[in-house]
Amino acid sequence: MISKIIEEALNKQVRVEAESSQIYLSMACWAEVKGLEGISKFMYAQSDEERQHMLKLVKFINERGGHTKISDLTGPPVEFGSFKDMFQELYKHELFVSESINELVRVTLEEKDYATHNFLQWYVAEQIEEEAMARTILDKINLIGDDKGGLYLFDRDIQQLTVSSAASDMLGG
């Protein structure tokens, strides 16, 4: 059985993951109407992944005797300026999600809820990977600069992008 404090903290994270899914979905739509098919597909996949992260939390809360409460979401931005601006926004958002996960881990230690602490280690490792991927993408975008040919190749190649972080290697991911 999870405590009310842990249940409340996990429910906040459910909202963060749901809003992350919505942000990526909005980015996918923006890229799609700009003709950036590869970036769009990448963002749709990221949106689905964030939703899966949310559902994993939902099931955990309910299975541990808590009650997941689905809350209103803050609407994501619908315009992103340039694709570089969009990916900078993505990176900032991933840093925010990491802070949120780290705060949740802190609460589990304060509450001595080691089962939830253990469960959250997957999220900690996942965020290391997400941040590394966002940094790699920004590095590639900075290499491209204003080269339209480079943007074309980036848009084509982003669908195959995978980033292996030290954490995922360590966890066998």
pLDDT value for 162: 55
* Residue-range definition of the domain harbouring residue 112: 4-170
Report pLDDT digits (tens) over 126-164.
999 999 999 999 999 999 888 888 888 898 888 777 544
- Domains identified in the chain, total number: 1
pLDDT value for 126: 95
pLDDT value for 150: 86
pTM over 0.85: yes
The 3-state secondary structure of the chain reads CCCHHHHHHHHHHHHHHHHHHHHHHHHHHHHHHCCCHHHHHHHHHHHHHHHHHHHHHHHHHHHCCCCCCCCCCCCCCCCCCCHHHHHHHHHHHHHHHHHHHHHHHHHHHHCCCHHHHHHHHHHHHHHHHHHHHHHHHHHHHHHHCCCHHHHHHHHHHHHHCCCCCHHHHHCCC
- The residue ranges of the chain whose pLDDT is under 70 are 162-173
pLDDT value for 163: 47
Known binding residues for Fe cation: 17, 50, 53, 94, 127
CATH code for position 91: 1.20.1260.10
Known binding residues: 17, 50, 53, 94, 127
